[in-house]
Amino acid sequence: MGAFIKRHTITTSCAAFLVALVTSWTAWTATAASRGHVVARIDVWRGQYVLLLYGEPTPSREEFVQLLHDRYDIKTRTIAGCTVSESLMKYANGYDAVVRSAATRKFGRDVIKECTDEARKDWELRRHSQKLAAEN
């Protein structure tokens, strides 16, 4: 009987641990966007404007990053490449929404979109110029 209770206690303890682990992981994932909001609010309050980047870089990303930094002192941090977990995406999107909103309030316009558009247009112009040069 003692062996049965001992085995039962170990099994129950392991099951309880697994349930707690899955529950906490689910809660951690479910709160990713909220956690991103909170951390971004703290960073913005401290005067640190950082945009989190993930995914495959666009051809104009390097120029976009430079424009944001040089003109508005907004830094960027690449947090993941092509493979990104759903939780990390939600965290970054929540974080970036707060930073974008704060930057828009600070500068009076959506400077992130402005830099994105300018970098893309500059890249397209360079690409077009390179094609013309290659044809000649």
**Amino acid found at 47:** G
| CB-based contact 44:98 (threshold 8 Å) | yes
Q: Which residues contact 118 (CB under 8 A, 6 or more apart)?
A: 67
pLDDT tens by residue, 23-68: 655 766 778 899 899 999 999 999 999 999 999 999 999 999 999 9
User: Between 132 and 126, whose confidence is greater?
Assistant: 126
Measure the CA–CA gap between 40 and 77, rounded to whole angstroms. 13
Indicate the average pLDDT of the chain.
85
Note the pLDDT of residue 28: 65
pTM of the complete model beyond 0.85: no
